[in-house]
């Protein structure tokens, strides 16, 4: 549905200064999925998401939406195509001097939608975002979350197949963030809208995304299913993002000390396995003692995912049996050998 193919974007900021914001980036978003792009500040995320409706024009590469390369379209064709691609922003981009109704209605009017149809759509989409009672108020009478809901209703009112989200929850508090994420999920599931979002928060990826790409220095350094990135992050930056969800690390000196009595294991559980009492089971089945050092369970979009760090005391034979038991029962086991 969205295919960014070998996109490079250079900004010329001075006579001889060139910033490569995107460096040969390729990414495909399938119809109906929520695809997240995560990275630290300056990684190139905004430039990337703005490619998908050609708000940024690539220096080289193709932006293919439903089989058509936006780069090759005329201005008029591009205008038409953009009707199908909604966008929401961190700063909401509402006009302060217009009411909620007008903020949604005026862009519709500019694209030639009739007054009668505008009325229907404004009502329909304000209902969907839960703000049907705010039609006549001005943006400064709304909370941040409500403003973002209006912006979402405005984007939806053009009945797009694709929604682009440029850090849409970054200006919101955690509870409001969760409400907006739930709304995006509802829009995706009930209206079948494909979503490409960028964020610097793992929490956002975890809550609603199917797949994720991690960006650094204008490149995608890792991409895949969210659950795969959580269970087996390859790149150092991905590991940092994942560990932001599991912050409690064990000091290196303590690891060294504990390891004298038996291994320290990082246990990763996905799905039903996360709900089983695996550690107490191995303590009962084998002559070992287990001590939990840290742990957490999080809800991914469709799955539970958990991590435990445990110290296992026992002789080598019994410990090996316990590790084998865990592995054959779907737990991913990694021995912690030093710092971390």
Q: Where do contacts with ligand ATP occur on this chain (CB under 6 A)?
A: 11, 13, 19, 21, 39, 41-47, 200
Is the CB of residue 215 less than 8 Å from the CB of residue 38?
yes
CB of 177 to ligand ATP, least distance (A): 16
User: In 3D, which of 42, 60, 69 has the Cα closest to residue 198?
Assistant: 42
Residue number with CB closer to ligand ATP (25 or 108)? 25
Closer residue to ligand ATP (CB): 47 or 177: 47
What distance in Å separates the CA atoms of residue 340 and residue 268, rounded to the nearest whole number?
15
Q: Pick from 289, 283, 332, 327: which is nearest to 307 by CA?
A: 332
CA distance 7 to 45: 13
Paired with 65 in beta bridges are 2, 68
Location of structure tokens 């956002």: 204
Closest approach of Cβ 214 to ligand ATP, in Å? 11
Q: Coil, helix or strand for 340?
A: coil
Counting every residue, how long is the chain?
340
For the chain, helix, strand, coil in percent to 5 are: 40, 30, 30
Q: Minimum CB separation from ligand ATP for residue 50, in Å?
A: 8
User: Min. distance of Cβ 170 from ligand ATP in angstroms?
Assistant: 8
Q: How far is the CB of 91 from ligand ATP (least distance, A)?
A: 12
Q: At its nearest, how many Å lie between ligand ATP and the CB of residue 207?
A: 19
- For ligand ATP, give the closer residue by CB, 215 or 308: 215
| Cβ proximity to ligand ATP, 36 vs 306, nearer residue | 36
- Total Cβ atoms within 10 A of residue 64: 17
Biggest CA-to-CA distance, the chain: 79
Q: Which is nearer to ligand ATP, 170 or 176 (CB)?
A: 170
Query: What is the smallest separation between the CB atom of 88 and ligand ATP, expressed in angstroms?
Result: 15
Q: Which is nearer to ligand ATP, 18 or 120 (CB)?
A: 18
CA angle, residues 260, 310, 261, in degrees to nearest 5: 15
Whether 309 contacts 294, CB under 8 Å: yes
Q: Rounded to the nearest whole angstrom, what is the least distance from the CB of residue 332 to ligand ATP in the complex? A: 31
Give how far Cα 173 sits from Cα of 70, 165, 181, 200, Å. 36, 17, 12, 14
**Which CB, 68 or 201, lies closer to ligand ATP?**
201
CB nearer to ligand ATP: give 164 or 273.
164
């Amino acid at each position: 549905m969205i295919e960014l193919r070998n996109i490079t974007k250079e900004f010329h900021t001075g006579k001889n200064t060139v910033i490569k914001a995107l460096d040969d980036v390729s990414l495909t978003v399938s119809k109906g999925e929520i695809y997240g792009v995560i990275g630290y500040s300056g990684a190139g995320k905004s430039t990337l998401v703005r490619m998908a409706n050609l708000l940024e024009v690539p220096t080289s590469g193709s932006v293919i939406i439903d089989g058509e390369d936006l780069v090759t379209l005329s201005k008029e064709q591009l205008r038409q195509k953009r009707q199908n691609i909604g966008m929401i922003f961190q700063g909401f981009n509402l006009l302060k001097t217009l009411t909620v109704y007008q903020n949604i209605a005026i862009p519709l009017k500019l694209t030639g939608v009739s007054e009668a149809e505008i009325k229907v759509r404004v009502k329909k989409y304000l209902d969907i975002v839960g703000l049907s009672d705010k039609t006549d108020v001005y943006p400064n009478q709304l909370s941040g979350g409500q403003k973002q809901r209006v912006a979402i209703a405005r984007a939806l009112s053009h009945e797009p197949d694709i929604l682009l989200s440029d850090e849409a929850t970054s200006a919101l508090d955690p509870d409001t963030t969760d409400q907006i994420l739930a709304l995006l999920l509802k829009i995706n599931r009930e209206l079948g809208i494909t979503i490409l979002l960028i964020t610097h928060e793992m929490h956002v990826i975890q809550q609603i995304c199917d797949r994720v790409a991690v960006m650094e220095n204008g490149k995608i350094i890792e991409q895949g299913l969210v659950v795969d990135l959580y269970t087996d992050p390859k790149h150092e930056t991905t590991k940092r993002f994942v560990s932001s969800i599991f912050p409690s690390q064990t000091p290196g000196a303590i690891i060294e000390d504990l390891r004298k009595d038996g291994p320290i294991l990082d246990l990763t559980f996905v799905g039903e396995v996360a709900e089983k009492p695996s550690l107490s089971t191995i303590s009962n089945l084998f002559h070992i003692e287990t001590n939990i050092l840290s742990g957490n369970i999080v809800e991914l979009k469709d799955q539970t995912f958990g991590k435990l760090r445990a110290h296992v005391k026992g002789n080598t034979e019994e410990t090996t049996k316990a590790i084998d038991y865990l592995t054959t029962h779907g737990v991913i086991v990694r021995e912690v050998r030093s710092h971390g």
